[in-house]
Each structure stands twice: as structure tokens, then as C-alpha cells.
Amino acid sequence: MERRSEARAVWSAAGLVVGAWVVCLAAAFVAFRLSAALDEEGVPVNWTERLGQFGDTFGLVNALFTGVALVGVAYTVHLQREEAEENREWIRREGREQFLSARLNAVVAMLDAHGRKMAASRDESVGEDYYLHALKSEDDKLRQQIAFLRSEVRLGFDGEWTPEVGRRAVALHLLQFVETELRCFTGACGCYADEEAGGTDHLSVERRFKEYLRDMRGHVRREFSLLASQPEPECFDVYELVKPELDQWSAAVDRALAAPDIHPAEVEARFRSLTAHLARM
């Protein structure tokens, strides 16, 4: 659509130039004829001089064409500059896509290798020893890195890759993770409230709700702990920025666990504050 508009503009400019040339030619011819008619009243006509004057009138047309030519050259340079910038942007996008693809392939290969190590460790040992725990932790870190790369894809490929792009991808993954946990939390609160309203034993509902809180707290804290242990500096930067909000959320969960009754309102409020903080990053 943009190229079509440019073509229309070029043809319109060409039509304007031709029209101006025709008008100038017609005006010069009319002036010449009027001058000749006046001279026919009795004064001899010097046709050589008249033809020279008629030719001189085309100096305006030549100047017009010269100016239009300069404008055309400037416009051509402008189009070439835009095209060169588009090519450079395409090259940057292509390079960033290749960079992302290489990183993703490397992480997937490492994840596959760790999966094979974990399978071999399970076959050779009874129960989960320290080595298996270490492999599991590394496996979770690699899965988290893949999630960061997927978030980077969702951000798009405008411009070159910078650490700021990585930081935004990390924050986007955490935002989606926390929003999912918040939806699960509000859903669980609704289920437990319905059970209690339906006559289920209060102590049973409270016990299961607090078990859910403990599991949720451990799951969320583990995701952020993995973030702090990632080798990329932007991961640790995001962790340091979000840690105060995370600590307040953890404290709200601890108070809910210590309370003699179910009090989900503060936990939900801290959840929403945490998501708002991540959304601003």
C-alpha cells in the first residue's frame, strides 16, 4: 500500500511538470502572436528578433525542469536511504532470530543431556540422593531458561538484542507465572468457601486450605530461587528488583498459615501487588 502511494505521487508529480510545461509553451505562443499582430498595424516585423524572443521564453521552462530534476534526485536519494534502512533492520531482525534460535537449540540440547543423566541416576540408585537432586535443580533451571526464550519470542524482534530485552523477557515470564498462580489461588479459595457453605467440616477445609498454601508458597519461592541462580546477570537484576514484593507476599502467606482461621484477602492483595510490580518492569 505504501509503495502504491509513492507510485501515485511520482506520476502526479510527472503530470504536474508536463502540465506546467504545456502552460508555459501556450503562454509564450500567445504572447508571440499578440506581439506579431500589433506589429502588423504598420510597423515592419523583425521575424528573426521575434523568434529569438519566443525562444527566450523557454528559459523559464528550463529552470522549472532543472528544479524538478533536483527535487527528483533528492527524492530518489530519500527512497534509497529508506530502503537501506529497511535492509539494515531486516538484517538486524534476521541476526537476532538466528541468535535466539542458537540459544534455544543449545538449551534444549543441555536439557536433553540432563534428562538422560537423571534417567541413568534413577536406574543406578535407590531413592533420590544428592546427585539426583542436583540434576533435578539443573533441569528446572534449563526449563526456566526455555521459558525466558519463549517470552523473548512473544516480545517480537524490533531492534537488536540487548540485556534490556532479556530483562523484559524474564519479567514477562514471571508475570505470566504469578498471574497463573493467582488464578489458581482465587479458584481454590472459591472451592473451599463453597465446601464450607455446603456443610463440610470447617477444620477439614481449613487443614486442606493451609496445605495448599504451603505447597503454593514452596512452588512460587522455588521459581524465584531458580531465577536468582541463573547465570545471566539480567535474571539476578530482576530478582533483586522484585524481591521486596516477593518477601511481603511470603510474609502474608506465613500470617495466613499461622492464623487460627482462613484469611485469604491479604494473600490475594499481595499477589496483585506482585503482579502489578512485574507488569511495570
Of the two residues 68 and 1, the one the predictor is more confident about is 68
Nearest to 16 by CA among 51, 67, 55: 67
- Each residue of 87-114: pLDDT tens digit? 566 656 676 777 777 777 777 777 677 6
pLDDT tens digits, residue range 13-26?
556 666 666 666 66
Question: What is the reported pLDDT for 113?
Answer: 72
pTM confidence score: 0.63
Bigger pLDDT: 184 or 11?
Answer: 184
d(CA 35, CA 171): 82
pLDDT at residue 170, rounded to an integer? 93
- For the purposes of burial, counting CB atoms within 10 Å of the CB of 140, is it exposed (0-12), middle (13-18) or buried (19 or more)? middle
* Non-local CB neighbours of 213 within 8 Å, separated by 6+ positions: 253, 256, 257, 267
pLDDT band at 47 (very low <50, low <70, confident <90, very high): very low
CA-to-CA distance for 103 and 109, rounded, in angstroms?
10
**pLDDT tens string 220-260:** 999 999 998 898 898 999 999 999 999 999 999 999 998 87
Is the per-residue pLDDT at 40 higher than 60? no
Number of CB atoms found within 10 A of residue 54's CB: 17
